[in-house]
Amino acid sequence: MFEHLRDPVSVLTTLAAKLKEGGRIFIDTPKQSWIYPAAKAVSKSLYTKLLRGTVSQAHLQIWSRKAFRVAVQRAGLGVEKYQEITELTMPVGYYLHNMGIDGAFLKLAAKLAFSSAQLLFRNKIICVLKRA
């Protein structure tokens, strides 16, 4: 739920203060993938469709690696393990529908890209934090 917090550094600081000796915090949160800035550079319309299709209104943050590490450091925590993974929580048709993509060629291209998602998209941070 880290992506839903209005003040994640404050929450992490509070959690860090409550950690017992040897305690850890596990974070699983969305990460900005390279596809967002690439789509924005190619076409504002494509970028808008991508956002509409993939970003939830309930998410207050989509983290970059740097922003995540800064938040962790400000909370007085250290990173014990950090990994970026691919997680597509819905079938490809869900994202295409939300993006308003209904052309046969674009659907095929998107399905091919999604079939290679493990190689192309690192959209999730999983991390174990400890006291710094």
> What's the domain count of the chain?
1
Interhelix angle for 65-74 vs 8-18, to 10°? Answer: 50
Domain that includes residue 33, residue range? 2-131
CATH code of the domain covering residue 124: 3.40.50.150
Residue 22 carries which DSSP code?
T
pLDDT for the residue 12: 94
Enumerate residue ranges in the chain where pLDDT < 50: none
Query: Using H for helix, E for strand and C for coil, what is the string for 46-86?
Result: HHHHHHHHHCCCCCCCCECHHHHHHHHHHCCEEEEEEEEEC
pTM of the model: 0.70
- Predicted local confidence at residue 132, as pLDDT: 77
Three-class secondary structure of residue 39 per DSSP: helix
